[in-house]
Amino acid sequence: MITFVEWTRLEPWRVARARTDRGETVIVKWMGPRADGRHAEAWRLCTEVAALRFLAEDLRVDLAPRVLAADISAGRVILQDLAPRVALDGLLRGDGIAAHAVRLEAFARARGELGALTAGQAGLYYRRRANLGQVDPETDRLGQVARLREEGLSQAEALGVTISGAVEREFARAMSELADPGPFLVLSNGDPETNNVLVRPDGPADARLIDFEFAGFTHALHDAVCLHVPGPAWMWVSMPAQPGGSAPPPPLRRTMPCHS
Summarize pLDDT for 2-43 with one digit per residue, the tens: 788 999 999 888 999 999 999 999 999 998 765 555 555 789
**So what's the pLDDT on residue 152?**
81
The type of residue at 243 is P
What are 92-113's pLDDT values in tens digits?
889 988 899 899 999 999 999 9
Contact present, 97 and 239 (Cβ < 8 Å) = yes
Q: Which of 44, 43, 51 is nearest to 218 (CA)?
A: 51
**So what's the pLDDT on residue 172?**
85
Q: Is the pLDDT of residue 244 over 50?
A: no
Radius of gyration from C-alpha coordinates of the chain:
20
**So what's the pLDDT on residue 35?**
52
- Give the predicted TM-score (pTM) of the model: 0.83
Count of other CB atoms within 10 angstroms of residue 7? 10
The type of residue at 221 is L
| 157-178 residues labelled b (16+ CB within 10 A) or e (exposed) | eeeeeeeeeeeeeeeeeeeeeb
> What proportions of the chain, in percent to the nearest 5, are helix, strand and coil?
40, 20, 40
55-62 — which CB contacts under 8 Å span 24+ positions? 55/118, 55/187, 58/121, 58/124, 58/125, 58/128, 59/117, 59/118, 59/121, 61/113, 61/114, 61/117, 61/118
Q: Is the pLDDT of residue 224 over 80?
A: yes
